[in-house]
Amino acid sequence: MIEAAVPGAGVEIVPNPSVSGQHSLRLAPGHAPAVAKFLRDDAELRLDFLSNVTGVDWPDKEISEKVMVTRQVTKTVDGVEQQAEETVEETRKRVEPGFLEVVYHLYSMEKKHGPVVLRMRTVNRADRVELPSLTPNWRSAEFQEREVFDLYGVVFTGHPDLRRLLMWMASRITPCGGIMWSRTISSTSRRRTTQC
């Protein structure tokens, strides 16, 4: 249905094996605004209400894989050295780079159904953290995308007012990125350090 309305949309269904079975749709960032417009305007879906936007920080993940490897070895049989093939199991490790993910929950007030969960991922967690804003489709995303920008560092292109809400403007850190930060608690000089 989505692929027919938005050719090349690159929508992937993300299954959820939990009891709720609340599956989600992972969107390719390049097509996300067009897919969002379709979900909002389609006569059958009418997803006209965005209830919340959430940021998720997925760190780098080390993956260990066991593989069978065939090697040439030298064996001594009855005092004679011979070349032979031997198959052994090896553990190989690789690192899958982390990313930031933004999750949107949509409902239809008109049709009384939902939620439909949308997900978008950044390329990495450091310098390629741009995603398109869905605020032009759902006004309720404006404040919440600002919060995700402020706390996780996701830059929403096309956002009408992307500025910090909680952190001071000159700050180059995001508190939920594992970095310690300080904020003033009262008008006195007391300070508290918090870690997300």
The answer on 139 and 115 residing in a single domain is yes
Please tell me whether residues 67 and 158 are part of one structural domain.
Answer: no
One domain, residues 120 and 155: yes
pLDDT tens profile 81-130: 888 888 888 899 999 999 999 999 999 999 999 899 999 999 998 889 99
185: pLDDT strictly greater than 80: no
Distances 135 to 34, 147, 153 between C-alpha atoms, Å: 12, 13, 17
pTM of the complete model: 0.76
- 157-166 confidence digits (pLDDT tens): 999 999 888 8
Q: Note whether 104 and 53 are same-domain residues.
A: yes
Q: Is there a single domain that holds both residue 51 and residue 103?
A: yes
138 and 156 share one domain: yes
Same domain, 107 and 156: yes
pLDDT value, residue 182: 33
Report the C-alpha dihedral over residues 32, 143, 140, 5, rounded to 10 degrees: -10
Q: Which contiguous run of DSSP H or E holds residue 146?
A: helix 141-152
Of residues 91, 117, 124, the one with CA closest to residue 103: 117
Q: Under 8 Å CB-to-CB from 140, ≥6 apart: which residues?
A: 49, 50, 51
Q: How many CB atoms lie within 10 A of CB 193?
A: 8
Residues 107 and 153 in one domain: yes
Over residues 39-57, the mean pLDDT reads 96
Q: Which domain, by its residues, includes 70?
A: 63-94
